[in-house]
Structure 1
């Protein structure tokens, strides 16, 4: 027997678990870059190198990314909340003024992201009201060392600086 869990309760309780924030970017065949923001990104396998994210089935960006057949995970830095909000918007021209360059697979690499992972779609599975998207990793690197943008209890945040060491 499955208990009915209220969506608001589920979201509130799981909101106590902090997540990193990533921009999933792609270049669909129409030549207009696509992006979505996710807090549900994870590594899956070392051999083969696989990663995953979970787009909502109601997402208007996911079909455009799926059409591209490839995507880039851009790990956002703690100074990129404004960029995050822009790319999360419904604006059809959300890339206007956003500095980026193409990855080897053609997906947008966002300037200022702390790391990137260039992927092709390996598999897509049903996962309730979301999809489970597995990506095959083709290339990855760190743009610059930095702290990630976090999402916790309904708001964006940063890691606390490490305590001062006493010598």
Structure 2
């Protein structure tokens, strides 16, 4: 096993949520899925994502003003796979809406954030993107989609 494959497997031991990062581009939704999302600061309100330098979608999104960030719900596995695929209609059968500022938010998500890129940093084979949060809306009854050990999983309440 190569060191990169071993490290990828090691990192997969940490469960993460999955976030759709989306915006309108020429009146059409453009988006991608990321699982390297984290809250950074409450004052000012900041979050960060890490984007692969090989992404063909991020250069388009990075130039938009507002970006919609939707923490995907447990029923969004198919959408998440589409948002991670190349050469497909990523929004086929997806339910979404755009804000007046062009941020695209996924319906039935656990959390919506409207953000703008504030800074970027070198992260090796990724770019670390610090974003300022302008709007936030939570949906506590939505169970988030979880990615763990390279599989999608659901959270279950203790019974």
Q: Same fold (TM over 0.5)?
A: yes
Distance across 2 between alignment mates of 1:78 and 1:64: 27
Q: 1:24-43, aligned counterparts within 5 Å?
A: 24-28=21-25, 30-43=26-39
Q: Does residue 152 of the first structure (1) align with residue 126 of the second (2)?
A: no
Q: 2:65 touches 2:101 (CA, 8 Å); kept in 1? A: no
Residue 129 of structure 1: aligned partner? 125
Greater per-residue strand proportion: 2
Q: Does residue 100 of the first structure (1) align with residue 99 of the second (2)?
A: no
Q: 2:110 aligns with which of 86, 99, 114?
A: 114
Point out the more displaced range, 61-70 or 116-125.
61-70
* Aligned CA distance change for structure 1 residues 104 and 44 (closer, same or farther; 3 Å): farther
Distance across 2 between alignment mates of 1:139 and 1:7: 37
RMSD: 1.6
Q: 1:92: Cα distance to partner? A: 5.0
Q: 2:42 aligns with which of 46, 60, 65?
A: 46
Q: Does residue 87 of the first structure (1) align with residue 83 of the second (2)?
A: yes
Q: 2:95 touches 2:107 (CA, 8 Å); kept in 1? A: yes
* Aligned CA distance change for structure 1 residues 104 and 140 (closer, same or farther; 3 Å): farther
Q: Which has the larger radius of gyration?
A: 1
Residues 101-120 of structure 1, C-alpha deviations (whole Å, 9 max, x = no match): 11242111111112100001
Residue 21 of structure 1: aligned partner? 18
Residue 5 of structure 2: aligned partner? 8
Displacement over 2 Å in runs of 4+: none
Q: 1:149 touches 1:157 (CA, 8 Å); kept in 2? A: yes
TM-score of the superposed pair, with normalisation by structure 2: 0.92
Point out the more displaced range, 60-69 or 89-98.
89-98
Which residues of structure 2 form unaligned runs of 5+? none
Q: 1:63: Cα distance to partner? A: 0.7
Which residues of structure 1 form unaligned runs of 5+? none
Q: 1:105 touches 1:118 (CA, 8 Å); kept in 2? A: no
